[in-house]
Structure 1
Amino acid sequence: MTSPGDATPVRPPPSFSPGVPRGASKTRYPDERRNSSTPSLDPDLVESRVGSSSPTPPLSATTSELPIRSASPYARSLRSSTPQLARSSLGSPVEGRLDAAEDIRSLIIRSFSPVVGVYASVDTDDLVRQKGFKGGFWELIRPFGENVPGKVVIRDSIGSSRPWEDFGVRFVDLGGSSPTLYDSNTARTSPLAQVEEVLEKQLKSANDPLSGSVRPNDLLNFPSTSPLYKDYLRQLLSIASATPHETFRHPVASIIVISSRNTSPLESLRQLYADTSNGDRRLPEWIHPEYLRYYVLVHDEDQDDIAESTKLYDQMKRHFGLHCHLLRLRSNQCVVTDDDSVQVPECEWLSPAERLSNKSEPLVDLDTDGLPYLFESDVMAIKGFIRELVAQSVIPHMENRVAVWNDQVASRRRGISGRFMSMSRRWAGFGSSSRSSFTSGGGVSGNYDGAHGFYKPDTPEAILRKMADFAFMLRDWKLSASTYELLRSDYGNDKAWKYHAGAHEMCAVSMLLNPLAMPAKTKREDVDQMIETACYSYLTRCSDGPDGLRCLTLALELLKARGGSAIESATRWAMRAIDLGLVGPVGQGLLSDRISVCYASRNAIPGVRWGTRRRKAGMWSVLAADLWLRLGMPALASASLEEAERLYADVLEGDGVFLMPDMQTFIDNLRHAVKVEYLEARGLDTSDETIIADPLGTEETSEQLDKRMNRRSLIASPLDSAGLIAAQVTRDDDNPADDDFERA
């Protein structure tokens, strides 16, 4: 019988092809697929044919000559295969083959960037609005802070320096002109529902390119991360607002900005400082008020005198110290037709609420692609200002704070005396501060304010948490992991459950991000236990769904990056997120595809062909295809089903038939439904298309029984080459030769 891979190339009907003969699909034969192009249905061509042809032909007439790629040998002449859709037009979650583990790791690290507040005077915002930025100075500099130009050198707790190329900061508006991280009215709806709504809009938008085409040199064994899943992960990590239990969204520094148009500049700077310290713009009481202040003077190149601005800048340095900068900008608005116009980069870390409200997008000319333009001199000035701010002020300030807190607070807790004081506080209340009070539960003394639900910023527990978060943002994961580990028991004793969950979560994340951490089995079991504890506290004790989903997603990605047996733990946490209902329909499809990618990346044990998870990967791709089809997205369903066929090709027999008839029927029905839905979406008539079920028969096989009394297993340790030989020798000794011993 001729196999589908050896079938003679046929000429497809005019409704699907530009007239070029198309060969049979090689999807089930990975070795031959590398030398042949995957047949595809061009969506643009289908639409053009539908629009130009008069009567629409029935589906049976258009698909009768398609190449057959059926899994069952009994119905190869009755059923066609899944439409091979062009990946460049799909944005498939399983698109590509190279696993971008470093991109996901960098994305997770950059999501925990230092936050810098921006508070500009009225005259400064008016100057920037003339340039076309309605959000003021904060909107002007926000996109440039997400990636600091050049390498940024950071010193860790032991004094070693390391350069980073992907370091950035987050600018937040403290002036109140836009929703900020500290506004309690911004989270009226569920953040997870907003993420789901943004994903649905992206899938329905025809102008959103979700992915590119597959490169010919992509490897088959390493599926890559789709842009749609990256965007989902980016939005999930962007929904976090400032909370008391973690300080990642607390401002590390604040920029106080005035312009050269100000008539009383020094007095305005003092007033802006007073507003952020004790005035209307004061931050919540659970945020430490002592953070770095950075003063900026914006000079108008088109209207003001640079000599006067330089004189004022010198006065600012004498009054406020060295944390000052003179930023020279043009007040005229730049248009795309200017010779030195440069397009402003797009903001990467937009929250789902901002994407839905579109408040972060300025009104620009319809001829552009939605982003404003700046003069090249302005862009260079802003980049230089941000690099000087980060490299010379923000990072040294954070390094200094970590060193001081580590010496004055953390070192007292790590020694024998520190542990003794901690035990004394736990059981007898001895050694606690004067602000401590006994709780009514079990006599535990601590600084936790149970009525308001937070520690005061000057308590040791809050300072240590801030120190650990600073070390994490400075990418000193060894110090952050040890500090989080110190705090876990304190938060548990004080019954500060959200603090308790956050300490367990970030301790596990720090250990997984540390490249020098031991990948031993006991260490991985400790990480799994911390993730389990964090999820239980988030979901059961605090009813915090977004943080619980963030914890499970971070565990999924970081354990997957570890590889090996850690992939099993990664898939378990992804299944937990689906089972708990933390994700919507689109999120379930993305996580199902991600589980398939995890299983597909599991390599065989060296020396043998055991240990792969191709069958499980194929099963989850089939489940993802079913989910995408239920959501009315046959293009994504077809891509997932094609990936499942490629994965099953390595584990099924040559005819590609499943051993379970029900499974084969489900695959056939799903393949048929995907084809019909896709063609109906393109306007083709599918009324004459019917599916013919395979005859389900009972297959009888005979097996010769082994007459030995006791059968010994031949399975030995795959890592022990001598074990298999020993097992074979033992089997030969089961029936020893007759040596006439009983006749003697």
Structure 2
Amino acid sequence: MDSNLSINNVLFYRSTGRDVTPLLQTLSCGEVGDKRSSEECKKLIVSAMSPQVCVYASEQADQVATKLQFHSLLQLLKPFGDRIEHKFQIKDSHFISKTIDEFSLRFVPPLEHMLSVQQAESGTKAQLFNYQSLELLMTEYIQLVDLELQKCGAEDKLMKRLLKKSIYVKFLTKLLASSSITSFESINQPVASFFFITGEESYEQARQMLIQYKSAKLPEYLSIDDIIPVFIIITDQANADQQEKSAQHREHIKKQLFVEAFVLSLDLNSNDDSVPSVVLNPPILCTVDEELQNTHLSSTPNPSLPTTNLTAIYQLLKDVIQKKLIPFMEKKITTWDEQVIVPRKSITGRLFNVSKKYFGSKRETNNELSENYNSELGIYRYNSTQTLTKKLADWSFMLRDYRYSYTTYELAKKDFLNDKAWTHLASASEMAAISLLMGAANITSKLKNDTIDPLMDNSNYTYLARCGLKTYALRSILVVSELFCNLRDTWSNAPTAIKWVQKALNDKLVTKTGKVVLLERIGYYYSICISAQAKAIMTRKLITEKSQDEMNDDEDVDFVNPLKLNIRNIATMGNTRQRKSALFKLIAARNWDPVSEPLQVLMCLQDTKTVYQGTVIGEREGGLLKRLQVASEDKLSM
């Protein structure tokens, strides 16, 4: 699991006594305008918008997970869905094959279970999370960070920075982690269902699971044909008879049920201490409620797996993704494209749309809703043109064909606007903007001002004013802001990210902790806002200073001239936003409570030293900076 290093795992590494050196080497900051924090957030966004897989397990299969010290197979599989590293081959809309280095899966409970839970909560709007629960979770996480900060010595500067950054990453992750199934976000609808049985169970057991699954009553916007079923037979690798029986089961299932099946051989002798084991990282995309339950209700230690089982599960997921999941999605995309997109783009289709617009029926000219849209429930049927168009765009996005997904979202938007399907329109506008940013290394001012900003304006206005979905508006703002900061030219794009985060603050989309976290993030955005010329000058300066320090170390020079002038680099003046970065870090420090969160205050003030140290603002007695520093240090010394 070391390949899944992330800022999110920093506390887990320290709590289990594991070596954090690789984590520091991978994620530590040192370069001018370092953007690795935003790059990590982009990886989280890709994982959060990956295919969703429902896990069905027989009673005996869950007992296997229990034997391996897990509550269920779902709990066992969840950590494996994050960033499965492999050379996966994917074909885009033009049938051009490309290779990606990693893929993600989001493992969720059975479809009927999720729908029943959501139906029980149907009295409230379908928000991504509960604000009170998120506030509680973030408060508890910050307390853990404070405990770890107290353990750090004065020389652990990189570790302190990493711990500090993990707070925002945790906040963003909780916004992205929702697996709620809605009619307007097909990216959160399952793409596959994995059925787990053991080698000792009969073929009839597998048949009954499939019959029960296919006979389940689904909402009108879902189709069972758009979810690929896959059977996975768990067998003991030390039992040759069971392995032979599992292979026979596999062939029987394929021939009789017409469903693909795989065999997963595991080492079920968990009591063998001679076999090396690995403690699993916690799943990154864990919802607010799930994490609170794990924190407060679970008393079991972090489970571990033998390395042989780790390898076997990863290999199984690689095979299923490459051999079944990706081809299934590619085939569906091709089918929907031929059924929906090609006719609409043809000359005949365009003439038909024009004739409908100007010579349509009386019902249509009166701007009434289309027959496909149920305005009372706010849904389209699963086989409607609008549903297939949106699903085609979402699936193309999950397979990282961002240019094609953008053009398809634009087609879907027209239908949603005509039908006044506001939630669908907001989602399509949001995803269109994300598609443009996700697939770009850089963008022009014209594209930003004429396309992306109007899309985000439309999405946020619709989410807030028409739908009352504050959590969706907040998520879209932070996702787009992080993607802006991943573009090559942060000098012109970081201010746009800052504008959107400030809008989230002005619209009061966050609670107290969320507000201070976003203020710190604005400070980070300003810190990476550096022109190309200034970055080159500052990088050369850092290299020169490092070389000079190495020379001084070799010569054992102990004397430093205290009268030597420290001349500011005039060449970079006006080409950075370091003063604004320090200002927002100071504002964030003011919003932290020096009494309850003195360490967080001091960490913010530490980031302002390069700007304020030795200045009137920084040294003035009774000034804000001094008052916050004194109050925090007094609290820590008590």
> Does structure 2 conserve the Cα–Cα contact (< 8 Å) formed by 1:334 and 1:341?
no
Shift of 1:181: 9.5
> Does structure 2 conserve the Cα–Cα contact (< 8 Å) formed by 1:118 and 1:256?
yes
Q: Which amino acid aligns with 1:635?
A: L
Shift of 1:298: 1.7
Q: Pick from 668, 675, 688: which aligns with 2:630?
A: 675
Is the aligned partner of 1:294 residue 2:219? no
Match of 2:605 in 1: 641
Q: 1:427 to 1:332 in 2, by over 3 A?
A: farther
Is the aligned partner of 1:232 residue 2:153? no
2:351, 2:509 → 1: CA distance?
A: 41
Q: 1:603 to 1:181 in 2, by over 3 A?
A: farther
Q: Which amino acid aligns with 1:620?
A: F
SS at match of 2:607: helix
SS at match of 2:382: coil
Q: Which amino acid aligns with 1:289?
A: I
Match of 2:388 in 1: 463
SS at match of 2:187: coil
Q: Which amino acid aligns with 1:600?
A: S
Match of 2:140 in 1: 201
Q: Pick from 313, 326, 330: which aligns with 2:250?
A: 313
1:574, 1:475 → 2: CA distance?
A: 26
Match of 1:183 in 2: 118
Q: 1:355 to 1:181 in 2, by over 3 A?
A: farther
> Does structure 1 conserve the Cα–Cα contact (< 8 Å) formed by 2:207 and 2:257?
no
Is the aligned partner of 1:252 residue 2:204? no
Q: 1:631 to 1:646 in 2, by over 3 A?
A: same
Q: Which amino acid aligns with 1:198?
A: L
Is the aligned partner of 1:571 residue 2:498? yes
Q: 1:326 to 1:197 in 2, by over 3 A?
A: same
Q: Pick from 591, 615, 628: which aligns with 1:656?
A: 615
Match of 2:528 in 1: 601
Shift of 1:553: 0.6
| Percent identity between the two aligned chains | 25
Is the aligned partner of 1:150 residue 2:150? no
Q: 1:415 to 1:181 in 2, by over 3 A?
A: farther
SS at match of 2:491: coil
Q: Which amino acid aligns with 1:142?
A: K
Match of 2:457 in 1: 532
> Does structure 1 conserve the Cα–Cα contact (< 8 Å) formed by 2:145 and 2:164?
no
Q: 1:424 to 1:391 in 2, by over 3 A?
A: same
Which residues of 2 match residues 555-594 of structure 1 at below 5 A? Answer: 555-562=480-487, 563-594=490-521
Q: Which amino acid aligns with 1:459?
A: S
Match of 1:31 in 2: none
Q: Pick from 587, 593, 615: which aligns with 1:623?
A: 587
Is the aligned partner of 1:482 residue 2:407? yes
TM-score, normalised relative to structure 1: 0.69
Q: 1:671 to 1:464 in 2, by over 3 A?
A: same
SS at match of 2:188: coil
Match of 1:7 in 2: none
Shift of 1:680: 2.0
Q: Which amino acid aligns with 1:352?
A: V
**Larger deviation, residues 451-460 vs 150-159:** 150-159
Q: 1:635 to 1:646 in 2, by over 3 A?
A: same
Match of 1:346 in 2: 282
Q: Which amino acid aligns with 2:264?
A: L
Which residues of 2 match residues 55-454 of structure 1 at below 5 A? Answer: 98-100=34-36, 101-135=38-72, 137-174=73-110, 183-185=118-120, 190-205=129-144, 209=148, 226-262=165-201, 265-279=202-216, 282-290=217-225, 291-301=227-237, 305-321=242-258, 323-334=260-271, 337-358=273-294, 364=300, 370-426=301-357, 428-429=359-360, 438=363, 442-454=367-379
Which residues of 2 match residues 484-523 of structure 1 at below 5 A? Answer: 484-515=409-440, 518-523=443-448
2:68, 2:156 → 1: CA distance?
A: 45
Q: 1:132 to 1:524 in 2, by over 3 A?
A: same
SS at match of 1:346: coil
Q: Which amino acid aligns with 1:420?
A: L
Shift of 1:439: 7.5
SS at match of 1:151: strand
Q: 1:560 to 1:381 in 2, by over 3 A?
A: closer
SS at match of 2:224: coil
Number of residue pairs aligned between Structure 1 and Structure 2: 561
Q: Which amino acid aligns with 2:313?
A: I
Aligned CA RMSD, in angstroms, stands at 3.3
SS at match of 1:647: helix
> Does structure 2 conserve the Cα–Cα contact (< 8 Å) formed by 1:286 and 1:457?
yes
Shift of 1:387: 1.0
2:374, 2:152 → 1: CA distance?
A: 52
SS at match of 2:431: helix
TM-score, normalised relative to structure 2: 0.80
> Does structure 2 conserve the Cα–Cα contact (< 8 Å) formed by 1:133 and 1:362?
no
Shift of 1:629: 2.8
SS at match of 1:226: helix
2:88, 2:438 → 1: CA distance?
A: 19
> Does structure 2 conserve the Cα–Cα contact (< 8 Å) formed by 1:438 and 1:446?
no
2:312, 2:85 → 1: CA distance?
A: 12
Shift of 1:665: 6.9
1:479, 1:556 → 2: CA distance?
A: 22
Gaps of 5+ in 1: 1-92, 365-369, 431-436, 650-654, 684-744
String of CA shifts for 1:150-178, please: whole Å, max 9, x gaps: 222222112333322231111112187x8
Q: Pick from 516, 534, 544: which aligns with 2:469?
A: 544
> Does structure 1 conserve the Cα–Cα contact (< 8 Å) formed by 2:177 and 2:286?
yes
SS at match of 1:629: coil
1:678, 1:241 → 2: CA distance?
A: 44
> Does structure 2 conserve the Cα–Cα contact (< 8 Å) formed by 1:94 and 1:226?
no
1:327, 1:267 → 2: CA distance?
A: 19
String of CA shifts for 1:486-545, please: whole Å, max 9, x gaps: 111211110000001011100001001112674242444320111011000001100001
Q: Which structure has the larger Rg over C-alpha atoms?
A: 1
String of CA shifts for 1:39-70, please: whole Å, max 9, x gaps: xxxxxxxxxxxxxxxxxxxxxxxxxxxxxxxx
Q: 1:196 to 1:217 in 2, by over 3 A?
A: closer
1:573, 1:212 → 2: CA distance?
A: 35
Q: Which amino acid aligns with 2:135?
A: E
Q: 1:623 to 1:207 in 2, by over 3 A?
A: closer
Q: Which amino acid aligns with 2:501?
A: A
> Does structure 2 conserve the Cα–Cα contact (< 8 Å) formed by 1:502 and 1:534?
yes
Q: 1:121 to 1:523 in 2, by over 3 A?
A: same
Q: Which amino acid aligns with 1:407?
A: E
String of CA shifts for 1:279-338, please: whole Å, max 9, x gaps: 3xx443322211211112222346663333322222223224472101123444447x44
Higher helix share goes to which structure?
2
Shift of 1:389: 0.8
